[in-house]
Amino acid sequence: MNLRLKSALAIGALALSAALMPTGQAQAGEAKWCAESGGRSAYTNCGYYTFNQCLAAVSGVGGSCRLNPRYFAANDDEYRPRRYYR
């Protein structure tokens, strides 16, 4: 009986630790630019912080670059609203 109890506790501990493990996505999709390719091997990679990085990635293999729709631009000067003074 003691062996069964230890086995049950071990299985329970493993199940609990697996349930509590973080499952968040990697931060690779948080960059400003996405490289996209169409065709049979279509892909989208939103891991480029500059437009030139994205262009270098699609150069020679085809594809295009676009702004990441999930990019949060709070600290980006390009998207900061202008202040108007009276």
Condensed to tens digits (0 to 9), the pLDDT of residues 64-79 reads: 999 998 887 655 555 5
Q: How far is CA 43 from CA 12, 54, 63, 72, in A?
A: 40, 13, 9, 22
Report pLDDT for 27.
Answer: 47
Condensed to tens digits (0 to 9), the pLDDT of residues 29-82 reads: 688 999 998 877 788 999 999 999 999 999 988 899 999 988 876 555 555 566
H helices of 21-82, in order, are 51-58
Residue 82, number of CB atoms within 10 A of its CB: 4
2-7 average pLDDT score: 77
Q: Which long-range contacts (CB under 8 A, 24 or more apart) does 80-83 make?
A: none
